[in-house]
Amino acid sequence: MAATCVNNALIVIATALFLITLPSSMAGGNFNQDVDITWGDGRGKILNNGKLLTLSLDRASGSGLQSKNQYLYGKIDMQIKLVPGNSAGTVTAYYLRSDGTSWDEIDFEFLGNLSGDPYVVHTNVYTQGKGDREQQFYLWFDPTANFHTYSILWNPAHIVFYVDGRPIREFKNLEGVGVPYPKNQPMKLYSSLWNADDWATRGGLVKTDWSQAPFTASFRNLKLNGCVWSNGVSSCNSSSNSSDNNNSWLSQQLDSNSQKRLKWVQNNYMIYNYCSDNKRFPEGLPLECTLRSN
């Protein structure tokens, strides 16, 4: 009996030490500390002591959140369970955006659909107020059955969109050859659930079925690992952070295996690519499309 108690005590101590030594980036954030619910009149809720957040939409209003901090480069992860059932007409948005009329923005938008039909994952990159860089994908799983991790990597070299750790899109910094890249404007993280039945599902042909309301999306395990921008200074510029392993994302590239995984998604699940839409750009594709894949 004594030996068993000692062994159990050692297991508890070892587990505690392991958890203490985990990098901070591996711990899920607390919504109470990281974000504010900014609109929705009570339709956005932070639950379970900050571990769970829900956004809801009904005929009167949707709801949304924004991060407390601004970031100039970052690696953002969020686990999301999308609106189940007949979600046609609804959009769950998850994105980074700066202020002003010439804003920068990095978008994930999840376009709802009729029951049994797949969600569309809509991505876009805005620089200085100009977007028109849409790529759209289906997913290889049901995003309403369980939580899945959606990530944005934004560093000086590129922007990468990830689903469950698998890259689905890369937008490279080609500023040297004249393609604008978001690098000067700090951004906040936003998420919202709103009605867009004028365009979201089959170009607006399928409208929101309000008898199914309220529509609810759930969020957990937010990880905001970024360069906090405050009073014109980046937290990544301090000497104490220059060698921090948690900032390895600042120079993170896609290795050969990641490139293969990216191509697998684009070959099998991409349903729209602005770089292939010659009809949309009769005077010529955007410059980044003619240089390399984005």
Q: Which helix (H) or strand (E) holds 21?
A: helix 2-21
Say which residue the tokens 């867009």 belong to: 196
Maximum Cα–Cα distance for the chain, whole Å?
Answer: 81
Polymer length of the chain? 294
- Residue 190 has phi, psi (to 5 degrees) of -130, 150
The two beta strands, 188-195 and 90-97, are antiparallel
Tokens describing residue 105: 């923005």
Question: Which are the catalytic amino acids?
Answer: 105, 109
Instruction: Report the alpha-carbon angle 129-130-133, nearest 5.
Output: 140
Contact 65, 55 (CB under 8 A): yes
Residue 286: strand, helix, or coil: coil
Dihedral sign for Cα atoms in the order 202, 203, 209, 213: positive
Helix ranges restricted to H, 76-152: none
Distance CA 14, CA 126 (A): 47
- Per DSSP (E only), the strands in 82-177 are 90-97, 105-111, 120-126, 135-137, 148-154, 158-163, 166-172
Say which residue the tokens 């980036």 belong to: 25
Beta bridge partners of 35: 67
